[in-house]
Structure 1
């Protein structure tokens, strides 16, 4: 039996952005792992915004018992995740990770694909703040 992998939820104000970042991050694992990743983007009507229902459903869908790393793009997405955590509406072991959205998502998913625990996944995502491009 294999150890469950940490799940990753990507919360964006845009469904298309969340889905594209999820596709990029999972694609960069080389296909060698089945990290559970779910985008949770946009409002329920498909427009821009955030939805606590979509976020909670995404977190439940990736929960395999090893924890869930949640990355969010902007202000109200962060506030919505914090409210869900405060109200215990996310799976036990869910954690909001302070990381840049795109680079952090890639680092989180790639690290989770190695079988790392939630602490290591969160640390890798947060470390993406230090990536220098020049």
Structure 2
């Protein structure tokens, strides 16, 4: 059964990787992908990295995207527009806590809409 994927967008590759590691300590059965930093792993974000992470995280149940700062949100939204799908949602909730809750909810087999509503309700 396909589960909702998670994409972690951060200006720092280390923050994205650290959060992926934290989630992976408890949840291992869902796709959690990172898009941290620029193409050369500097501080910033990359639309290409975000799109690649979205594609990799999408197993057919949809993808929720979490970000750290405003320009990461802007690039995530542009990436979603370029992907031309309604199955990818950019969340406007705290990066660490809400991504973790989303991973738990996805692991329980909930739908994209159910995971989104739980995260938005909690944060």
TM-score range, shorter chain: over 0.9
**TM-score, normalising length from structure 1?**
0.85
Q: Which runs of 5+ in 2 are unaligned?
A: none
Q: Which residue of 1 aligns with 2:53?
A: 58
Is 1:106 aligned with 2:100? yes
Q: Which among 36, 41, 45 is matched to residue 40 of structure 2?
A: 45
Structure 2 CA distance for aligned equivalents of residues 128 and 61 of structure 1: 27
CA contact under 8 A between 1:103 and 1:128: conserved in structure 2? no
**TM-score, normalising length from structure 2?**
0.92
Tell me the alpha carbon deviations over residues 16-42 of structure 1, each in whole angstroms, 9 at most, x when there is no partner: 10011111122233x4xx100101100
Greater share of helix: 2
Structure 2 CA distance for aligned equivalents of residues 62 and 92 of structure 1: 15
CA contact under 8 A between 1:8 and 1:36: conserved in structure 2? yes
Q: Which runs of 5+ in 1 are unaligned?
A: 130-134
What is the count of residue pairs matched by the alignment?
123
Q: 4+ residue runs of structure 1 moved beyond 6 angstroms?
A: none
Larger of the two Rg values belongs to structure: 1
CA apart distance, 1:116: 0.6
Structure 2 CA distance for aligned equivalents of residues 127 and 14 of structure 1: 27
| DSSP 3-state at the match of 2:89 | strand
